[in-house]
Amino acid sequence: MNLDSDVLVELASRYLERQGWFLQATAGDKGPLVCESIEILAEEDPALFRLVFTKGAHRLQLFAGVRAPTTLVGALRNEEAALFGPIDVGGDSYLAYDALADDECCRRILGIATSGRENAGRVRPVASLLSHTSFVFDERLFMKCYRVLEPGERAESTVLFGLDTVGFNAIISPVALWSEGGVDLALIREFLPSALEGRLLALTSLRDLLAYVNETEDEAGFRSVETGGSADEVAAAAGGDIAFEMRRLGQTAARLHLALADAFGDVALPPRSALEPLAAASALWSDEVWGRAIRLHGDFHLRRVMRTDGGWIISGFGDDPMFAMTGATGSVIEQIGSPLEDVADMFFALREVANEALRLRPSAERPYAQPLAHAWTRRNQGSFLRGYLEVDPIGRLLPTTGAIRDQLLTHFVVLRAERYELA
């Protein structure tokens, strides 16, 4: 395609500078925006280009499409916002635009990223986040095109492919990784349409339980838990109880930790300042009693676990995290630590979702509903841990005694409460 690449770069630069994600990703970086490279991915209409920009320490990826105006009509989603502007091609006026708004270009990127192994018909955009844009193809493949390029392989692809290699199947299987010079450009994995966030399952369970206080023959007031026994008994008897789902999730989490240890190794839990108060209180304990340190999920909560028709799967190895320690570009920093840290994440998440459900109740009900929400949290934390500990040989990664394990877990839970509540 005979076009002036400088014009395309100029148009693309101006487009980039209008994008919220770009401004957020490069906030505070005063360096100039420079086009580092431009690569022609396809020449026929629509033509497809991959541009890499740098701005200070940041590297950014942008896909550009170029079409004749006659073929552009109806080809773009969100047409106005996606257009870069007119560009001369061999004396004719064409239009340049963000190629990720064009289904045809998305299909081409999928083909390139999978070395031609995959092609698709229907394209559905899913999310447009700071670090990436994502699409679903034919409701079976999910592609994440990175906007912000990170030096080296991303934690997400490292972990996904690492787990896949050791045969851990409670993840969404990776299909292909498109990388260049060790830098990840796009990740393609399976798409599971039936997958549902664990949080939604938990809220459904809580909705059923908390309705208890409002299901009374006494029109005047609310039903206190004493009517049906203790809060724990009421929670255990609720139709929407998901304790055994949590047990299965606990089992899946334990298998994940064993697989992470398998794939990335394990070491003696390193002494950390965070553990010092405990260590001081237990001066007689040797280093060995604390268990092993492994590569963690690091952001393990109810939005990161998905219930599918085949059981639980774990996702979010590097999505834009909500709670985890994050790097400057929004990706998860590799975390090494006791597997109980992930367990503590889930304990905290169960407590948080119960609070979320409580907030949905009218304020007058809350004093009656609160003991039930707490009982729900206790019950499901217990089930999760029970399932977790059932998996053999998870014990080899954990503290050598139950007492130390419980103490360490409590310690991590308290740390999370302090961290998030102070935040």
Distance, in Å, from the CA atom of 338 to the CA atom of 270, rounded to the nearest integer, reads 9
Q: Name the minimum Å distance from CB 1 to another protein.
A: 30
Among 85, 111, 125, 240, binds another protein (CB under 8 A): 240
For 98, phi then psi, to 5°, come to -70, 115
Least Å distance, CB 247 to another protein, is: 7
Of 193 and 402, which has the nearer Cβ to another protein? 193
Site track for another protein across 171-210, x = CB under 8 A = ----------------------xxxx---xx--xx-xx--
Minimum CB–partner distance for residue 240 and another protein (Å): 5
CB 412, min distance to another protein, A: 27
241 binds another protein (CB under 8 A): yes
Task: Give 3's DSSP letter.
Answer: B
Rule CB under 8 A: choose which of 31, 228, 265, 310 binds another protein: 310
Min. distance of Cβ 139 from another protein in angstroms? 8
Number of residues that bind another protein (CB under 8 A): 26
Kindly state whether residue 80 participates in binding another protein, applying the rule CB under 8 A.
no
**Environment class of residue 328 by beta-carbon count within 10 Å: exposed (0-12), middle (13-18) or buried (19+)?**
middle
For 137, 173, 320, 325, the CA distances from 21, given in Å and listed in that order, are 24, 28, 13, 20
Site mask for another protein (CB under 8 A), range 317-356, x = bound: ----------------------------------------
**CB nearer another protein, residue 184 or residue 245:** 245
What are the helix (H) ranges across 134-214?
155-165, 198-210
Nearer to another protein, 154 or 301 (CB): 301
**78 within 8 A of 58, measured Cβ to Cβ:** no
The single-letter code of the amino acid at 12 is A
Distances (CA, A) of 376 to 35, 208, 239, 240, 396: 54, 11, 12, 11, 30
The nearest distance, CB 244 to another protein, in angstroms, is: 4
Mode of pairing for the β-strands spanning 123-128 and 92-98: unpaired
Q: Which of 124, 366, 378, 411 binds another protein (CB under 8 A)?
A: 124
Q: How many CB atoms lie within 10 A of CB 230?
A: 12
Determine the Cα–Cα distance for residues 135 and 145; give it in Å rounded to an integer.
Answer: 8
- Assess 18 for contact with another protein (CB under 8 A): no
Beta-bridge partner residues of 127? 134
Contact residues toward another protein (CB under 8 A) are 122, 124, 139, 193-196, 200-201, 204-205, 207-208, 211, 236-237, 239-242, 244, 247, 307, 309-311
